Every structure is written in structure tokens, then in C-alpha cells.
């Protein structure tokens, strides 16, 4: 049985209006150093997920290196609130930290949807290069304008398509299929370009939406498909790697700025441990979950991607008005240069 969410939409609004920042420090008995009790929320499971592994790596490092000054409590599977509610809670200081999907944060910082553009990157190494370089640093800095301290990124992997209508071999096979998408305009427009009918719903509601026929299909990395047992209510899997998913490890900026320099350094180092743990987990488990999919789905297809890539070309032009042409051009230029050097 899933845990009841700590906040419903109405209750969350009340708490955001009345609760001071969760991360306010308390003086130790000696009065010389403050201690902190932080809450971290995210929308997938705690075990056997990239977000869960990142959270555990962060907690283990920070609690040990801070010598007990920082303690951390987990709220996985949207038990604190929906992904969007948690983002807003971090922004106002009612939640200390979140591992938030970059595409969900794009509702506040539009540029964060840029790496979700369809078929932009051709593998994890390209995506990592973007995030670890100057473009990635510029993206992280944008969060500070909105009261976020973006500590680091968390690797979630490349998305694949599942549905209950038919095997997917061509873009035309997606026409008329009711697809779930996160509330990311670039992904919504991608599947509209394929001719799908697109709905948005919370990640933890996808299983019910599929089982009840509210939606026919969805797209997620294999790790997340199995995290929410979507294979139980889906027949067809298409390996498309059409968009790269990652999350940002975010913190309320005021909470971070209120830390002494030593703790700030520990937190940043902990976020690097979290990033590395997520990448290691995703790389290690992609092949395992693909093997698991062989028996979990009725049919797996490996479509020729060129027709899909051609179908979504207009999405890039449409997104210039949403996130700006500059960030798209910067990413494309960086990736072209990166490929030329390999």
C-alpha cells in the first residue's frame, strides 16, 4: 500500500503560507554550532532507483562529514506532495531539498527543458558532457534567480515508449494513442508531432491511469517503468531513446546561504557523490532491465529512428519561443563540437 501523501494540494497551500523554512538550525547544547534536520522529497522509490541511490549517497556522506550536525529524512514516492508541489515548497523554504525532474522545473525555469528536446543527445556520455561543462553550469546558475540552489544533476537515463494499442515501428503507429507526458511543453509537443493525444498526470498516478484505460501509454526510462510496475499493465515496449531524463538535486537557496562555509562545502561534495551514484546505478542497470523487459512485455520493437527524428523537427522551432533560441543553439553547438573531438 502506498503511503498517504503528507500534503494534499489544499493542505500544502496552507503549510506553505504558515510554515517557516524546515532547515532552520538549532543551537547545540554548547551553543557553538547549529544543527540541521532536513527533508528530501522525490517522486520515485527509495530502493533500486537512481533518485533513491543519489539520496542515500548524499545522506551518508553529509551526515558523516558534518559529524552529526546535519540529519536527513527521506520522502520518496511523492509522500510529501506531488513533484510540482515539492518544487514550489523548496522555492519558498517549506521543504529543504528535492530531487526534481528538470522537465518539471522547466515550468519555473524554461531553459531546464532544453535537454529534453527529442533526439538531442545520442548517449549518456554526450548528456554528461553537456551537464558537466559550461552549458550545464550556466543552467544550474539560473535556479538562483528563483530561490533555488541547484547542487548537481541526477542521471535518470533515456526514455522508452510503452502502450497497450499496438507495437510501435513508425511515427504513424503513435497516431491517436492516448499518451501520458510530464508537464513539459517540449515533450508534450513531441508526442503531438507524432499524432498522439497527450495528457499530463503525476508520475505516481501513471499505473492507475494505464490500468483504468484513462491513458494508453507513456514514456520513461526502463528503471522507472519497472519502479512503478508499469509493465504489469502495458503490452508493447518500443526502444527509442528519444529523450534524456535527468533531475536536479535542489535546495532552498536561503537554507544553503545560511550554512557556514564548511557545511556548504560538505553539501556540494555530497551532491557530487549523489550525481556519481546515480550515473553508476543507471549505467549498471540499463542492460539488466532491458533483459527483464524481454519477458515482461508481449512485444518489444526497435524502430528505425530517422522517421521519428524528422517528424519532430518542428518542435525545435516551436520551443524557441518557450525557452529561447540561445540555450538550444548553445547545446547543439556544444554537442556538435563534442562529437567532432571524439
Of the two residues 143 and 5, the one the predictor is more confident about is 143
Same-domain pairing of 216 and 82: no
Contact 12, 84 (CB under 8 A): no
Quote the CA–CA distance of 185 and 183 in Å, as a whole number: 6
Where on the phi/psi map is residue 31: left (φ > 0), alpha (ψ -120 to 50), or beta? Answer: left
Quote the CA–CA distance of 202 and 218 in Å, as a whole number: 12
Residue 67: its pLDDT value, please?
Answer: 96
- State yes or no: pLDDT of 14 exceeds 60: no
- State yes or no: pLDDT of 17 exceeds 90: no
Strand, helix or coil for residue 179: strand
How many domains does the structure of the chain reveal?
2
Same-domain pairing of 120 and 219: no
Same-domain pairing of 168 and 298: yes
Of the two residues 32 and 60, the one the predictor is more confident about is 60
Arithmetic mean of pLDDT over the chain: 91
Domain housing 252: 9-156+246-285
* Section 77-101 average pLDDT: 95
DSSP letter, residue 37: E
In a domain, 271, yes or no: yes
* Section 48-73 average pLDDT: 97
Residue 126: its pLDDT value, please?
Answer: 96
Q: What pTM was estimated for this model as a whole?
A: 0.88
User: Tens digits of per-residue pLDDT, 295-316?
Assistant: 999 999 999 999 999 999 999 9
DSSP letter, residue 10: H
Same-domain pairing of 52 and 125: yes
- State yes or no: pLDDT of 128 exceeds 90: yes
In a domain, 115, yes or no: yes
- State yes or no: pLDDT of 116 exceeds 50: yes
Cell triple for 248: 536536479
Contact 18, 125 (CB under 8 A): no
* Section 72-95 average pLDDT: 96
CATH of the domain at 77: 3.40.190.170
Same-domain pairing of 194 and 281: no
Same-domain pairing of 298 and 204: yes
Same-domain pairing of 139 and 27: yes
Same-domain pairing of 36 and 91: yes
Same-domain pairing of 14 and 148: yes
In a domain, 140, yes or no: yes
- State yes or no: pLDDT of 16 exceeds 50: no
In a domain, 1, yes or no: no
Question: Beta 236-238 vs 197-200: how paired, if at all?
Answer: unpaired
In a domain, 2, yes or no: no
Question: Beta 148-158 vs 244-252: how paired, if at all?
Answer: antiparallel
Quote the CA–CA distance of 173 and 87 in Å, as a whole number: 35
Amino acid at each position: 500500500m502506498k503511503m498517504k501523501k503528507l500534503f494534499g494540494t489544499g493542505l500544502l497551500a496552507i503549510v506553505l503560507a504558515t510554515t517557516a523554512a524546515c532547515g532552520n538550525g538549532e543551537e547545540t547544547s554548547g551553543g557553538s554550532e547549529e544543527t540541521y534536520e532536513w527533508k528530501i522529497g522525490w517522486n520515485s522509490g527509495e530502493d533500486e532507483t537512481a533518485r533513491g541511490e543519489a539520496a542515500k549517497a548524499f545522506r551518508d556522506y553529509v551526515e558523516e562529514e558534518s559529524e552529526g550536525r546535519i540529519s536527513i529524512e527521506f520522502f520518496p514516492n511523492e509522500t510529501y506532495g506531488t513533484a510540482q508541489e515539492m518544487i514550489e515548497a523548496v522555492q519558498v523554504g517549506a521543504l529543504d531539498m528535492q530531487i526534481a525532474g528538470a522537465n518539471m522545473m522547466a515550468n519555473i525555469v524554461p531553459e531546464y527543458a532544453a535537454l529534453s528536446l527529442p533526439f538531442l543527445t545520442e548517449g549518456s556520455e554526450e548528456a554528461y558532457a553537456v551537464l558537466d561543462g559550461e552549458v550545464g553550469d550556466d543552467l544550474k546558475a539560473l535556479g538562483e534567480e528563483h530561490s533555488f540552489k541547484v547542487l548537481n544533476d541526477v542521471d535518470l537515463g533515456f526514455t522508452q515508449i510503452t502502450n497497450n494499442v499496438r507495437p510501435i515501428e513508425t511515427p504513424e503507429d503513435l497516431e491517436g494513442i492516448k499518451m501520458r507526458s510530464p508537464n513539459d511543453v517540449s515533450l508534450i509537443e513531441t508526442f503531438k508531432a507524432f499524432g498522439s493525444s497527450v495528457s499530463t498526470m503525476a508520475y505516481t498516478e501513471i499505473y492507475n491511469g494505464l490500468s483504468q484505460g484513462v491513458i494508453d501509454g507513456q514514456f520513461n526510462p526502463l528503471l522507472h517503468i519497472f519502479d512503478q510496475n508499469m509493465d504489469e499493465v502495458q503490452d508493447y515496449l518500443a526502444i527509442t531513446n528519444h529523450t534524456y531524463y535527468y533531475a536536479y538535486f535542489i535546495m532552498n537557496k536561503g537554507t544553503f546561504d545560511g550554512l557556514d562555509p564548511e557545511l556548504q562545502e560538505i553539501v556540494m561534495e555530497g551532491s557530487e557523490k549523489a550525481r556519481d551514484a546515480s550515473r553508476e546505478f543507471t549505467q549498471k542497470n540499463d542492460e539488466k532491465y532491458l533483459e527483464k523487459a524481454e519477458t515482461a512485455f508481449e512485444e518489444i520493437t526497435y524502430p528505425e529512428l530517422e522517421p521519428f527524428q524528422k517528424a519532430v523537427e518542428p518542435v525545435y522551432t516551436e520551443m524557441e519561443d518557450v525557452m529561447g533560441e540561445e540555450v538550444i543553439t548553445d547545446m547543439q553547438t556544444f554537442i556538435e563540437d563534442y562529437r567532432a573531438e571524439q
